[in-house]
Structure 1
């Protein structure tokens, strides 16, 4: 197990260390829940205040033009495109992950026919959306065994929704294999990048991916309920009919025509008026990623996770994620029958993680603001909480609504 001195040496040599100053972090706390809700960068708070006080407060309706509100979803899409490895005109920041899955899956199943599929144990919303779309469209829905490759899916499947990084296990999908097998079978994959964007060194275009969605409130630090984004490869945009064809996706919305004519390019995936304040916060948050090499981000996340896994091994804890030295997303998952109470006891110490039923303790690592020493200290605290049974108190065992 690494020593605290070794972790300090890693911090001294860390090329991302200066990024920490960009975030509004509580003094003395160790925040290990960036995979659920990222802390605010100072630039996000400043951008949000400017949008509220000046653009909205003073500019009012004129800000749709003067402050560029109308084009903000496209501007953000272009900024996000670098982080997922696609072209700047193939991404739009809009709606939520759930809505964007519905839009892409609905368009694809209308074009391709056949059945929809999601994996058992996938993040619930992905399967829930497809179940609902199945009821509406009549397309069959298959819930398949986790990690069933496209070559082994039921013959009628034409649309698969799959997480790039699994929300529980932190396992990173084999993009290239899945896309290669999907292409051979005529299957379209919609990648859910919610636990990957801002952490994994994504190269979607090079890997052959054509469709994806992702959220802005986890590693991207865009704030609670931050807007999501939608990626559609340029050569596919005009071949799909947007199933939620709202006013702002129209070619000429301010002509106020009765009939619908879709806009050219990625803008046709708009539906209705976007939340400008939420988009503005995300716009500010993305400043923290300007000029950042995502390969360095992913590599540091790997080391941070290994530091906690080393401590977990010394405690005899079972892991539910790829192990030491193995590639994984930006979180580590540890199993303990009293996992909920342990997580609450750690939170009381100012070390925030989260819990996933039935017995999983989940700790996330954003390399832009976390240090190696902090993760070492969190591991030491975890050992104390478990070894002294500090968790065994009524205030830690009573379940809260959000875990």
Structure 2
């Protein structure tokens, strides 16, 4: 979806945006003029203030430890099911909330490679997020496995052909990101997953830049495993817990390595020796981060109210606006677009490129314009559709242009 052959003003786009009114539901900031980093940390919703307060005075303050029996013990699963239904295209009983993204990735990667005994290779791309790459390096060393690298285009992403060239009968697991954190490129999940399954390997998809901004259909795509964070487009707040998806047919054959009492078959038996629970409970370890789950309810309600298709539509219009505005107003300074232009290949952020952007970013922050920088030369414009207006984006881009004018060419 593009917005026409002539670039309209941000005011015109906001006036015709059916989702424009939803920006008012988020808490604004007197210290930020343009927030262009919603793909790193989402804004809080105004209603979350009341929800957190009610949690502290009610479920925690009044009900106290009784709340574990009344709701908290099941919260990782009920909230996980809701994330699955609203954002992942996953049936109930396959998604759980708990731990950080890194810890959940470690659990599922270890479980997956152990489930393919005799296979000696793990595959990942060179442009995947550092945590994913570092974890695989550590696990490969820990388990005596070989790490096979896919050389991915930093301005594009991993394709089915690149995966086909990398996998073989020795591959145990492939770990890829649905949306490339640098370029915003959307991988063809069903095609790539099919390639991996044909060689008998498992696949784990990192959904950190997907859930809440781009429709996903994990069950339909026959995905094995997935992990994602909740502080980006799910607006769970800084350090909010991550979620893990495990296809139902795989659950009882996988054994994650961090054994804790919450993952045991009988949680309160306090038995000698660990016996894993069946289903998704076996992927828990310690006490769930209940307080960290509270804000997510509000954003999931909003996503359900609006519909992920409408959110995706606005995301495409916002990113299209950034690309076309940059090409019209920033190309004279040597700024280029470092990511896909095709709708089907573009997530909810756009990376602009220029050798000076590492210097430009702190200057923008001084003006209360908040994008982020990605090494070596990327200014990442992250657009959370429900909390971002076209006018806000235009103000941010105008400030980029103003600063570029002051720099030596």
TM-score, length of structure 2 as denominator length: 0.90
Q: CA deviation at 1:297?
A: 1.3
Correspondent of 2:217 among 181, 187, 203: 203
Counterpart for residue 370 of structure 1: 388
Counterpart for residue 379 of structure 2: 361
Over 3 Å counting, the alpha-carbon distance change for 1:336 and 1:379 in structure 2 is same
Moved more, 288-297 or 185-194: 288-297
Output one character per residue of 1:222-259: Cα deviation in whole Å (capped at 9) or x when no partner: 10011000001111111212222211011211111112
Matched, 1:123 2:129: yes
**For the Cα contact (< 8 Å) 2:34–2:368, is it kept in 1?**
yes
Distance 1:326 1:58 in 2: 49
Counterpart for residue 284 of structure 1: 298
Give ranges in structure 2 of 5+ residues lacking alignment.
1-5, 153-157
Moved more, 17-26 or 271-280: 17-26
Distance 1:53 1:285 in 2: 21
Q: CA deviation at 1:342?
A: 1.7
Correspondent of 2:398 among 380, 386, 396: 380
Distance 1:369 1:303 in 2: 14
Q: CA deviation at 1:171?
A: 0.2
Correspondent of 2:144 among 135, 138, 142: 138
Over 3 Å counting, the alpha-carbon distance change for 1:16 and 1:88 in structure 2 is farther
Distance 1:71 1:325 in 2: 39
Counterpart for residue 51 of structure 2: 47
**For the Cα contact (< 8 Å) 1:94–1:274, is it kept in 2?**
yes
Distance 2:12 2:200 in 1: 50
Moved more, 257-266 or 363-372: 257-266
TM-score, length of structure 1 as denominator length: 0.91
Over 3 Å counting, the alpha-carbon distance change for 1:261 and 1:183 in structure 2 is same
**For the Cα contact (< 8 Å) 1:311–1:380, is it kept in 2?**
no
Output one character per residue of 1:97-120: Cα deviation in whole Å (capped at 9) or x when no partner: 111111111111111132212111
Over 3 Å counting, the alpha-carbon distance change for 1:242 and 1:160 in structure 2 is same
Counterpart for residue 272 of structure 2: 258
Q: CA deviation at 1:154?
A: 4.3
Distance 1:264 1:19 in 2: 41
Distance 2:236 2:58 in 1: 20
Counterpart for residue 163 of structure 2: 150
Counterpart for residue 273 of structure 1: 287
- SS of equivalent to 2:227: strand
CA RMSD, Structure 1 to Structure 2 (Å) = 1.9
